Structure 1
Amino acid sequence: MYSLYRSVSQKWTCPLISVQPIRGLVDEKFQIAVTNLPPNQKVTLHSLHQSDDTDFWEAFGHYVSDEHGSVTGFKDESLGGTYDGTEPVGLLWSMRPIPGSRHGLRLRKRDIFRPMEVCISVYSGHLSQGFSQQTPLATSVTERWYVAPGVKRVNIREKEIRGTLFLPPGSGPYPGVLDLWGVGGDFVEYRSALLASHGFASMALEYLTPEDLSLEDTDASYFEKAYQILNNHPMVKKDHLAVLGLSLGSAITLNMVSYSKVIKPQCCVCISGSHLMPVEKSLSELFELMKKMLWRYTCLAIIIIKLA
C-alpha cells in the first residue's frame, strides 16, 4: 500500500523553481534551482523582461536534470540556447529582443528607482522559440536593482555643467568616476548608480543635450569643469578619480586624458570607441567631421565591393 501511494505521489509532484536572492543588484550572481523533475529530463530555463521602453527581452539555456530530478543553474552546464556552459547570470547578460521585435533596440534602465523585474521559468524539453505558446512547469519573479539601499542621487547644476552625482552610503570620501556615455539615446544614469552601489562616487555627465548650452559651446572646457567639480566635491577623495567612456564618451576620454592639463585621472576605461578625435573642437564641429568621414568610408566600401 505504501509503495502504491509513493509512486502516485511522485507522479503528480509539481516541479519547483527557486531564485536566490530574490532581490539583488543587477550584476550580483543569483542561484536558480529546479527540483521535483523526473531524472534525466530535458528542460529549458527561460528569462523574460519587459524593459522601460515596453519591449520584451529574453534569454534561455538548455539543461538536463540529474538523477535526483534537479537542475542547478549556477553549477550545471547549459547545453545550448543564448549561452553555453556554466553561467550563473547567463539568463541576464545574454538577453536579446524576442522574435518580431522592432529593430535597433537597446536594453536600458530609464527609471533607476524601479527594479528590473525578470520572470524566470522552466519549460519541458529543449525549446528555442514559441515560449509564449507554451505553459511553464514553474515560474518565479526576481528583482534586479541598479541602486543599492542608501545610495544618494544629487543633481549637479554648477558652472553650466549638467549631470547627476551618485554617492555611496556612509560618510566618505570615496574614489570618484566621471561617467561619459555615447550618442545612442537620452541621458543615462544607471551605470553611475551601479558604480555608487559598489563604493564609487560616480557622476553621469550630460554633455550632448545640456540645458542652456549648445553643441557649439560644448568643448574641452566643459569636460574640464565637470572633472574639477567632481574632484572638489567634499564626498570625493581628491585626486583619486577615474574617467569612464563609452562610444563617443570613449573618444572624449582618450582626448582629454592625452591633451588636457586639468584632467589627470588615476585610471581611464574606454569601451567601444575611437581614438581618432580632433583636439580643441566643439561637439558640433566633431559631428560634422564624423559625417564627412562616414560618407568617405561608405563611398570607399562601395568602390571595393564593385571591384571585388
Structure 2
Amino acid sequence: MATTDRNPDRQAATLALAHALSAAERGLAVIPLGRTKLPALRSPHHDDPDHATRCHGECGRFGHGVHDASGDPVRIRELFAAAPWATGYGIACGLPPHHLIGIDLDTRAASEPDSSVALRELALRHLFTIPPTVVVLTPSGGRHLWLTGPPEVVVPNSAGRLASGIDVRGAGGYLVGPGSRTRRGTYTTAPGTAHLTPARCPRALLRLLLPPPRTHHPTPPPAGEHGQGLVQFVLAAHEGQRNTRLFWAACRAYEDGIGPALIAPLVDAALRTGLSEREARATIASAARMTGRHA
C-alpha cells in the first residue's frame, strides 16, 4: 500500500534523492518512501490483489515495493521522479554485495523490557558481541544496527521473535535510510558510525535469526520423491538464486536426515545451473553446519 501524501516538501524530496544516491554509492539498493515510511509508489496492480501478490516487477512498471530497489543511479532518479512526494528512502535487505541484516531495537514503555538490555542479555547468553557497525537513530528513540550476512544464508523478517522489542529486517524487507524525513521526524546516523561499513553478523547471532529447524523423525526417511523434489528445486534456479536455492534445499535435506545421500545429486544439479563444484560443496557444507550436521 502506497502513501497518499502528495503535497511534496521539495527540499525534503531533493534531500531524500541525494541521500538515496549516496547510499547507492556504498553498494546499497534503495526505493523512495513517503512520510509514513511506506513505499511511495502505489502498486500498478492495486485493482487486482491476486496479480499484486504474484508480480515482483516482471511487468516492467514501478510500484512493487522492495522489489523496485536498485543501486543504479539512473533507475533511482527515475523512481524518485515517479514519486516527487517522497521524503525518504528505504534500503533493501538481503541483497548483494552486503546482504544487509537490520536489527531494529524499538523503544518501549517504561513498564516493558528495554530492547537494548534484551540484546545484551542475548549476547551474554549466547557468547557473541556486536562489532562496531553503522547505527541509525530513529525519531522515536530506537536504533537500527546494520549487519551483513553470508550470501548463501537467507535471513527472514521477524517481529519480536528474537526478543521483546527487537525486530529483524532480512530478505524481502527494508530499513529506513538515514536522512529520511517521516511524520515523526528524521532518521540520522549515530555519531561516530557514519564512516563504518556494516559489520559481519556474529555466527551465534545469525543462528538465532534463522527459523528453528523442523522436527526430526526418529528414523531418517528415504530420499525418494522428497529428495528428487529438492534436486528439482535447485535445477529450477535462475542466476542470482542458485546459491540461495541450493542452501535451502541442503538445509531441508539435512533436517530430514537425507543430507549425506543428496550431496552428490545436489552438487550435480548445482553444476548444471552454472555454479562451480567448489561453490556447491561449500554451500552444502555451510547448510550442514547451520543445521548442526556434518557434511
Q: TM-score, normalised by structure 2?
A: 0.28
The structure in which a higher percent of residues are helix is 2
Structure of greater relative contact order (alpha carbons < 8 Å, 6+ residues apart): 2
Q: TM-score, normalised by structure 1?
A: 0.28
Compare CA radii of gyration and give the structure with the larger one: 1
The structure in which a higher percent of residues are strand is 1
